[in-house]
Copies of this chain bind each other. A is one copy, B any other.
């Protein structure tokens, strides 16, 4: 039999595409092997285990997400950057729910886990964006955590269909970003009225 031309990277990519279709929790080696036109045990020549595969998908996802956010916020600042970055993230999660789920399920295995720099790049993009609001050091950390919580939470709830009411979800997202922008602007030291 001719070879299939697989590699750790191509298996990971196929796995990522698969989980986006069937959901991360339904990932199975058999299904992926079938997709690749290969028998299940052959996958073990490229990834160590299903857990390893899931971890590789997670790294891929975080790296892609970091790129998407960086590209979106590139050359923008203030509310424009916030909206563009947030939109990029929401779109990414909507289009790649399985990968994103893999990213969240992943556990950092050690200090040299490639997941660390990938997540670091995501955080760096948000931090750079927040710099435009000129918060002080602690507030910037709080704001970063708030932003991450909100975006992750929104995407997660949206992904599992938790927003039922008939008010448009896009409107809510836009409203939320406006709310954040206004609140952060109000913290500009220069603008705090001395009373």
Chain A residues within 8 Å of B, Cβ to Cβ: 25, 104-105, 107, 138-139, 141-143, 145-146, 148-154, 156-157, 160, 162-163, 165, 167, 169, 171-172, 175-176, 179, 182-183, 186
CB distance from A28 to the nearest CB of B (A): 15
Smallest Cβ-Cβ distance to A165: which chain B residue = B141
Checking B138, B145, B171, B182 against A176 with a beta-carbon cut-off of 8 angstroms, the contacting residue is: B145
CB distance from A148 to the nearest CB of B (A): 6
Besides A149-B150, A153-B156, 17 more A-B contacts (Cβ < 8 Å) are A104-B156, A107-B160, A138-B171, A142-B167, A142-B171, A142-B172, A142-B176, A145-B157, A146-B154, A146-B172, A146-B179, A149-B151, A149-B153, A149-B157, A149-B176, A182-B186, A186-B186
Checking B148, B153, B172, B179 against A183 with a beta-carbon cut-off of 8 angstroms, the contacting residue is: B179
B153 touching A148, Cβ below 8 Å: yes
